[in-house]
C-alpha cells in the first residue's frame, strides 16, 4: 500500500489567552490525535507537536510547541492535522481507514466497472460512500455490508451492490434520446 497522509483532526480555534487550541479529533479515541508523534499541516510544510491538556464540550484542548499566546493559536484555526498512514495502527477485520478506500475502483457484482471511490462521509447514522461513475455522475450510497459486500485493498477495488431504487445504473447515463430508442 502506498503511504499517504491521513487527516486525524483539525484545529478549531484558540482557547484562552495562553496559546491553547481547540482540536476536533477524527481518531476513534479522540486523545489519539497526539499519540502518533508530530503531525503536519495538509501540505506537509508545518510540523506540530501536540500535547492534549483536557477537553471542552466536544473538542480537545491542546498545547502546541511554539504557540504561546491567543493570537498564535487563533492563526492556526482551520489547520488540518495529518500523519503518514503507516504511523496508524492496522484496522480490525472489516474496518478500514477512509484514506485506504479513496481512489479504489468501484465494480458491480458481475465485475463491470462502475467508477471510483471519491470520498466517505460520516453523517452520524452511518458512513456513506461516494462513487464517481464512469459517466461523471456522483452517487452517494450507504457504506454497509449489503451495499458494499467486498473491499479488496490488495487488488484495489470495492464491489457495489446498490439498492435499485436508490441508484441509477450505468446504462442510465446514456443520452435521453438513446434510452428512448432502446425502449428504456
- For residues 30 and 68, state if they share a domain: yes
In a domain, 184, yes or no: no
For residue 92, give the DSSP letter. P
- For residues 81 and 102, state if they share a domain: no
For residue 131 the three cell numbers come to 462513487
Q: Which domain holds residue 56?
A: 5-85
- For residues 128 and 59, state if they share a domain: no
**Which residue matches cell numbers 496559546?**
19
Q: Are strands 157-160 and 105-108 parallel, antiparallel or unpaired?
A: parallel
Instruction: Please answer whether residues 34 and 21 qualify as being in contact, where contact means their C-beta atoms are separated by less than 8 angstroms.
Output: no
Cα 150 from Cα 160, distance rounded (Å): 8
Q: From start to end of 30-156, where are the E strands?
A: 39-40, 47-48, 50-56, 59-64, 80-84, 105-108, 113-122, 127-133, 138-142, 150-152
- For residues 77 and 129, state if they share a domain: no
Query: How confident is the model over 117-173, as pLDDT tens digits?
Result: 999 998 878 889 999 998 999 999 999 999 999 999 999 999 999 887 665 555 555
Number of domains in the chain: 2
In a domain, 47, yes or no: yes
- Residue 60 confidence class, pLDDT cut points 50, 70, 90: very high
pLDDT of 179 above 70:
no
The whole model's pTM is what? 0.72
For residue 164 the three cell numbers come to 435499485
Instruction: Please answer whether residues 159 and 150 qualify as being in contact, where contact means their C-beta atoms are separated by less than 8 angstroms.
Output: yes
pLDDT of 107 above 60:
yes
- For residues 16 and 81, state if they share a domain: yes
CATH code, domain carrying 25:
2.40.30.60
Cα 63 from Cα 79, distance rounded (Å): 14
Amino acid at each position: 500500500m502506498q503511504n499517504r497522509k491521513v487527516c486525524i483532526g483539525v484545529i478549531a480555534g484558540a482557547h484562552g489567552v495562553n496559546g491553547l487550541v481547540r482540536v476536533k479529533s477524527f481518531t476513534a479515541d479522540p486523545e489519539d490525535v497526539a499519540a502518533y508523534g508530530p503531525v503536519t499541516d495538509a501540505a506537509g510544510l508545518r510540523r506540530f507537536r501536540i500535547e492534549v491538556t483536557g477537553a471542552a464540550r466536544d473538542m480537545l484542548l491542546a498545547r502546541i510547541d511554539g504557540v504561546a499566546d491567543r493570537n498564535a493559536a487563533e492563526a492556526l484555526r482551520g489547520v488540518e492535522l495529518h500523519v503518514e498512514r503507516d504511523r496508524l495502527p492496522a484496522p480490525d477485520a472489516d474496518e478500514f481507514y477512509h484514506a485506504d478506500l479513496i481512489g479504489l475502483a468501484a465494480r458491480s457484482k458481475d465485475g463491470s466497472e462502475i467508477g471510483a471511490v471519491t470520498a466517505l462521509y460520516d453523517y452520524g447514522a452511518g458512513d456513506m460512500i461516494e462513487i464517481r461513475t464512469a459517466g461523471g455522475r456522483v452517487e452517494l450510497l450507504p457504506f454497509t455490508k449489503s451495499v458494499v459486500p467486498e473491499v479488496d485493498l490488495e487488488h484495489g477495488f470495492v464491489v457495489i451492490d446498490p439498492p435499485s431504487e436508490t441508484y441509477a445504473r450505468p446504462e442510465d447515463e446514456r443520452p435521453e434520446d438513446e434510452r428512448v430508442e432502446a425502449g428504456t
